[in-house]
């Protein structure tokens, strides 16, 4: 495999995907605290909106992991979600004996962790949710991540319209567009040309290659990759010289990077 390592001598940053999500329930304080036991560079998390419009941390479309496979976050008010027991439903808890956990708000997450490491906040705006709620989610997220002294917060989304709106709301926050598996090099070239404000792209580890890296480097854009868990995936990202490597196994990625 042809590779390149041209990130200007900077060390690849390792971000814990939803915290240490193989050691505790993803997107909980326990997962974030466990991730910080390693010398990670950052934490990635996901934002959705409750029925009463509170930004909370949750990744999936459905609530399978809470034992409700037909329900969504926005089927419930925050108070209802706060009463749900993560401990009883997340399989990882029965394996690790982790502490009791409840759903976390974006405000609580930022208040607790913004001074601990870099943060990457993904706004989960997808086609199953009404567009007016997309705008509410973007406005509230961007208001909360307004730059503060000493912190480094990035915002990402798979929804380009949401990023356009986010840039209008808070032009100083670095924004990253998440690519899907079927998006091509030509899509990348067109996207960064038509949306020059973008700080960078976050690409699937399966599809990134030298051509993507050379394009993004030539435009001065950040290169992030998801989700690197196997030795081959981590090695590929490191050999390509990406800026940000997102992993469910940050300790492994750190060992491979620094070893």
Taking only the tens place, the pLDDT of each residue in 210-225 is 999 999 999 999 999 9
| Mean pLDDT to the nearest integer, 2-16 | 67
CA nearest neighbour of 56 among 74, 32, 68, 35:
74
- Ordered domains of the chain (ranges, CATH): 13-258 (3.20.20.190)
**Cα-flanking dihedrals φ and ψ of residue 243, to 5°?**
-85, -40
Q: What is the rounded distance in angstroms from the CA atom of residue 239 to the CA atom of residue 233?
A: 10
For the cut 60, the answer to whether the pLDDT of residue 3 exceeds it is: no
The percent of residues above 70 in pLDDT, for the chain, comes to: 90
Q: What is the rounded distance in angstroms from the CA atom of residue 50 to the CA atom of residue 37?
A: 30
For the cut 60, the answer to whether the pLDDT of residue 149 exceeds it is: yes
| pTM, entire model | 0.92
The percent of residues above 90 in pLDDT, for the chain, comes to: 77
| Mean pLDDT to the nearest integer, 15-40 | 94
Host H or E run for residue 32: helix 29-35
Q: What is the rounded distance in angstroms from the CA atom of residue 254 to the CA atom of residue 29?
A: 21
Mean pLDDT of the chain: 91
For the cut 80, the answer to whether the pLDDT of residue 5 exceeds it is: no
């Amino acid at each position: 495999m042809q590779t390149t390592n041209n990130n200007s001598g900077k060390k690849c940053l390792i971000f814990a995907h939803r915290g240490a999500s193989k050691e505790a329930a993803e997107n909980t304080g326990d997962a974030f605290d466990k991730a910080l036991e390693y010398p990670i560079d950052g934490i990635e998390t996901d934002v959705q909106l409750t029925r009463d419009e509170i930004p909370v941390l949750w990744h999936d479309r459905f609530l399978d992991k809470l034992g409700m496979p037909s329900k969504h976050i926005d089927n419930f008010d925050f108070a209802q979600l706060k009463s749900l027991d993560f401990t009883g439903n997340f399989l990882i808890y029965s394996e690790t004996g982790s502490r009791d956990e409840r759903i976390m708000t974006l405000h609580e997450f930022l208040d607790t962790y913004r001074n601990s490491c870099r943060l990457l906040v993904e706004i989960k705006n997808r086609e199953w949710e009404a567009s007016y709620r997309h705008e509410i989610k973007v406005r509230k997220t961007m208001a909360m991540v307004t730059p503060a002294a000493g912190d480094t917060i990035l915002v990402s989304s798979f929804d380009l319209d949401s990023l356009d709106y986010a840039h209008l709301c808070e032009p100083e926050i670095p924004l990253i567009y998440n690519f899907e598996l079927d998006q091509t090099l030509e899509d990348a070239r067109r996207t960064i040309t038509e949306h020059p404000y973008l700080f960078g792209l976050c690409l699937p580890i399966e599809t990134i290659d030298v051509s993507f890296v050379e394009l993004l480097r030539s435009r001065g854009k950040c290169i992030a990759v998801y989700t690197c868990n196997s030795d081959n995936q981590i090695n590929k990202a490191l050999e390509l010289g990406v800026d940000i490597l997102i992993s469910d196994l940050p300790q492994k990625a750190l060992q491979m990077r620094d070893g």
